[in-house]
Amino acid sequence: MLIISILLLSLNPSNSKPIDHLYDLKWKNRVLVIIANEKEEIQDLVTLYNNELNERDFVVIRFDGEKAFVHDTKMSKRFSHSLIKKVRKVPQEVYFVLIGKDGRIKNVYPKDINMNEIFSDVDKMPMRLDEMKRNPDGY
């Protein structure tokens, strides 16, 4: 629970504006959208892969098709609408949507994907390679 609180604080420090649109994460975070209603299963996934997600500057968003949640915090209607616009053309069988720091969809994955495959895809991206070069001890 402490990790969740720290992540939410880092998403919305007191000296910056609130996260109210998907664009607010651009160039700061990668986004992993999980299109599902299974809150507990997603919490378990985030807990299990917490270090890997943090190392890659991920924000995990649970999206039920209408509402977006970051760690059980319901995001604004404006944020949810921006997410709907981003993922509306994604096929229904998709469970994970990877959005890069540039705000573009990088890949989509089925539910049975191994999370390490997602991390491997991210680690091959030019921006991530640069991050690892600049901070080899932190990754």
> What is the band of 18 on the pLDDT scale with cuts at 50, 70, 90?
confident
Q: Among 2-16, 17-31, 49-63, 100-114, which is the least confidently predicted range?
A: 2-16
Across the range 92-107, mean pLDDT stands at: 96
Q: Is the pLDDT of residue 12 over 60?
A: no
What is the predicted pLDDT for the residue at 96? Answer: 97
- Going through the chain in order, the beta strands assigned E by DSSP cover 30-35, 58-63, 68-70, 73-74, 96-99, 105-109
What's the mean per-residue pLDDT of the chain?
A: 87
Across the range 53-74, mean pLDDT stands at: 93
Q: Is-contact 19 25, C-beta < 8 A?
A: yes
Percent of the chain with pLDDT over 90: 73
Q: Is the pLDDT of residue 3 over 70?
A: no
- Domains of the chain, start order: 18-138 (3.40.30.10)
